[in-house]
């Protein structure tokens, strides 16, 4: 079959009414710089197989064209639009235009914020900037977004104003190291200051005090971020009818408990452990058996126990002050630190094989770590020693004790450590929520969502699957709000409009959460007496291979699967999915912990994580909540300041349906809503001259 002829030159599917002429400036692909600027030295004539170009360094080059359907390279915007603070104002909005604008603003004016219609794009500079002090907050308070430079405070102020009509939310998304946690803290600080009580400021102080605590227990150093949040967090700040803060509530999602027992090279465990080790000499910590972080298995695997720009001892003081501000008594804090230290000692317990086959193991009677663990938790040493190496099996007719191999015992020890820490984390969240409980009836609220960015590594497991599932749901909500509902509103108002065909990730979500989807089959496999990761993988192949375009089986593999997410395809290794989903600890060890007189005592977890994830993901976001998206990009993977490395930031390669396409698509929406009763007088008050074409208006 012959291909249809292409009657004219095209750009991204759009036809041009004239051929490009000499002097036209374009962007051409480059393997090092990603995009290079060039200028046509000859006018294009029909039938030409190449475009003749001059690069900015003066060298000559050519750009080959497909004669069957020649496409012009991306056109470059005029120089006067370079550094524009709203991408919607660009004449041409595409990947090189986005990158060039962000680069110009970042390197030439040290500007980290840029608008794109309703979206605020944030770049992490990896250094402190003097743009978050109180005078800056007061400067943005009461202002319209278009009156001030792009800033997280401008988005926060817009949400604060619109709270009068409906509840608001800030959705902060981005990859690891993009600065999501910092953005969330700046937004909370803004609301605490502008929505503070006229007299008593204790509630605002408590809201802010929750941040250092959650960072201590939920953040860790990774290869891309020295203060990476390893859990998802949604904070709802409650306001009175006078729009003063009266309380707050926090929900968390998927703490990365696997980090507790394993850290990759150059990474660390949670900050709180290093804070404790750095403060081992304090009088109140004598008797805990604390030492340097390098002396504990759970804190030294990444061989990175110290950070140059971090004072762990000072950070512990901040953590303790925050606890005190939230009403956690000193004695309760010391008890909490005692339990945390016991977890470190648990990781140092030596388990030795009894024979060369390794089918059974034992602990040394004089194991110092075992003794300290039992002393700190108030449990019997003999019982802990026994049930670390044995497990009780119950059948219909009898109960018997079976020895565990050394590896099984190590897995059981690590599972216990993760369980204890997970329960402590939940206890801390509950204490924070108790301290932040609204003191009177709330009138409105603003939510701040700070969640993991999309993740893909060399080896991806259960944690990455849950994180990426959450991001699929977040992307769906964003699509619904930004594209579908917005355009449906245009149709209702009978505005002439051509519907934008945006990426719909519902099929991928159905693959994950629908009946007989990935999560459903995982939960069913966990119920099987002899369920296994391999058996589950085979059921996935049988059900979804050749049936779902978003599911794929890797070549030469029977224990992995590929999901085509909105941000690209990810290969997941099935090994460990069932164990992590069940998240169980042997009942005998749980029984020992329940007998402990130390509080808080861990309890048995009776639900599967995949069931929790599906339930959380399946909850619809209330349409009464108006979101304000704040995507963040960490543009330097070297964690150095002042760098903008284009070769690491080809947006299309990293996120095919992510930030760049989202920015391009939103540029086609109307950037401003006017009420039905809007009169010429009101337009004049808005400083909109009659000659302005509203479709090009970027801010009001």
698 carries an active-site annotation: no
Q: What are phi and psi of 456, to 5 degrees?
A: -150, 125
Per annotation, catalytic residue among 229, 279, 363, 666: 229
Question: What's the CA gap between 653 and 153, in Å, rounded?
Answer: 31
Does the annotation count 228 as an active-site position? Answer: yes
Respond yes or no: is residue 176 known to be catalytic: yes
Phi/psi at 283 (nearest 5 deg)?
A: -55, -40
For the annotated binding site, the residues are: 174-181
Annotation marks residue 211 as catalytic? no
Q: For the chain, state the CA radius of gyration.
A: 29
C-alpha triplet 261, 524, 507: angle, nearest 5°: 90
Question: CA triplet 270, 274, 275: central angle to 5 degrees?
Answer: 105
Q: Which is the catalytic residue, given 225, 279, 445, 479? A: 225
Q: How far is CA 276 from CA 4, 292, 338, 495, in A?
A: 70, 9, 10, 62
Whether residue 137 contacts residue 120, with contact meaning beta carbons closer than 8 Å, is answered with: no
Q: Can 177 be counted among the known catalytic residues?
A: yes
Total H helices, total E strands in the chain:
24, 23
Q: Determine which one of 39, 205, 335, 455 is catalytic.
A: 455
Annotated binding site for ATP: 174-181
Q: Are 630 and 178 in contact (CB under 8 A)?
A: no
The answer to whether 649 is a known catalytic residue is no
Longest dimension (CA), the chain: 91
Q: Which DSSP letter does residue 630 get?
A: E
- Out of 83, 289, 302, 453, which one is annotated catalytic? 453
Catalytic residue among 83, 177, 302, 617: 177
Q: Which residues contact 556 (CB under 8 A, 6 or more apart)?
A: none
Residue 77, φ and ψ in degrees, nearest 5: -75, 155
| 453 a catalytic residue | yes
Which of 24, 77, 228, 468 is the catalytic position? Answer: 228
Cα gap 189→182, rounded to integer Å: 11
Pair 216, 209: CB distance under 8 Å: no
Classify burial at 393, counting beta carbons within 10 Å of its beta carbon; exposed 0-12, middle 13-18, buried 19 or more: exposed
225 given a catalytic annotation:
yes
> Catalytic positions, please?
176-177, 181, 225, 228-229, 453, 455
């Amino acid at each position: 079959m012959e291909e249809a002829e292409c009657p004219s030159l095209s750009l991204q599917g759009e036809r041009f009414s004239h051929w490009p002429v000499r002097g036209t400036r374009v962007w051409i692909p480059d393997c090092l710089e990603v995009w290079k600027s060039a200028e046509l030295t000859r006018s294009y004539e029909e039938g030409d197989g190449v475009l003749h170009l001059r690069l900015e360094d003066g060298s000559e080059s050519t750009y080959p064209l497909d004669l069957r359907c020649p496409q012009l390279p991306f056109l470059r915007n005029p120089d006067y639009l370079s550094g524009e603070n709203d991408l919607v104002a660009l004449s041409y909005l595409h990947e090189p235009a986005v990158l060039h604008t962000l680069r110009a603003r970042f390197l030439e004016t040290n500007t980290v914020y840029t608008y794109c219609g309703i979206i605020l794009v944030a770049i992490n500079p990896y250094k402190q900037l003097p743009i978050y002090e109180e005078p800056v907050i007061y400067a943005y308070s009461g202002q319209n977004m278009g009156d001030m430079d792009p800033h997280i405070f401008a988005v926060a102020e817009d949400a604060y104003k619109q709270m009068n009509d409906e509840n608001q939310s800030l959705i902060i998304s981005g990859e690891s190291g993009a600065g999501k946690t910092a953005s969330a803290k700046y937004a909370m600080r803004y609301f605490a200051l502008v929505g503070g009580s006229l007299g008593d400021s204790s509630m605002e102080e408590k809201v802010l005090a929750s941040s250092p605590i959650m960072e201590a227990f939920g953040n860790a150093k990774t290869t891309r971020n020295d203060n990476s949040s390893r859990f998802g967090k949604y904070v709802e700040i409650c306001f009175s009818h006078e729009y003063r803060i009266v309380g707050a509530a926090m929900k968390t999602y998927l703490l990365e408990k696997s980090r507790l027992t394993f850290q990759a090279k150059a990474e660390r465990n949670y900050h709180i452990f290093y804070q404790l080790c750095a403060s081992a000499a304090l009088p109140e910590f004598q008797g805990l058996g604390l030492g340097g972080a390098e002396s504990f298995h759970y804190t030294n695997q990444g061989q990175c126990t110290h950070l140059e720009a971090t004072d762990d001892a000072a950070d512990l003081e901040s953590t303790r002050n925050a606890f005190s501000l939230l009403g956690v008594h000193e004695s309760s804090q010391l008890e909490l630190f005692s339990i945390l230290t016991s977890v470190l000692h648990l990781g140092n317990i030596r388990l030795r094989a009894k024979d060369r086959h390794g089918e059974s193991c034992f602990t040394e009677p004089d194991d110092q770590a075992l003794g300290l663990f039992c002393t700190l938790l108030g449990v019997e040493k003999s019982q802990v020693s026994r049930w670390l190496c044995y497990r009780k099996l119950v059948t219909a007719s009898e109960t018997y004790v079976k020895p565990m191999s050394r590896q099984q015992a190590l897995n059981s020890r690590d599972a216990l450590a993760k369980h204890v820490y997970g329960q402590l984390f939940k206890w801390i969240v509950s204490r924070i929520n108790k301290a932040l409980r609204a003191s009177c009836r709330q009138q409105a609220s603003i939510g701040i969502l700070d969640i993991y960015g999309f993740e893909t590594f060399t080896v991806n497991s259960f944690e990455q699957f849950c994180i990426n599932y959450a991001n699929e749901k977040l992307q769906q909500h964003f699509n619904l709000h930004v594209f579908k509902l917005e355009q449906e509103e245009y149709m209702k108002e009978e505005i002439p409009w051509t519907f934008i065909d945006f990426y719909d990730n519902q099929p991928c979500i159905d693959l994950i959460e629908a009946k007989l989807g990935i999560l459903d089959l995982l939960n069913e496999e966990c119920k099987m007496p002899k369920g296994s990761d391999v058996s589950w993988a085979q059921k996935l192949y049988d059900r979804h291979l050749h049936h779902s375009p978003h599911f794929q089986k890797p070549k030469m593999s029977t224990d992995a699967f590929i999901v085509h997410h909105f941000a690209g395809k990810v290969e997941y290794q099935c090994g460990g999915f069932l164990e992590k989903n069940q998240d169980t600890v042997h009942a005998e060890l749980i029984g020992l912990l329940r007998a402990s007189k130390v509080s808080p005592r861990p309890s048995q977890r009776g639900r599967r994580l995949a069931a929790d994830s599906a339930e959380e993901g399946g909850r619809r976001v209330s349409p009464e909540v108006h979101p304000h998206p704040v995507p963040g990009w960490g543009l330097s993977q070297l964690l150095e300041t002042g760098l903008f490395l284009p070769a690491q930031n080809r947006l299309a390669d990293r996120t095919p349906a992510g930030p760049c396409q989202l920015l391009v698509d939103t540029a086609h929406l109307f950037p401003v809503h006017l009420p039905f009763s809007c009169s010429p007088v009101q337009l004049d008050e808005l400083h909109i001259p009659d000659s302005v074409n509203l479709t090009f208006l970027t801010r009001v």
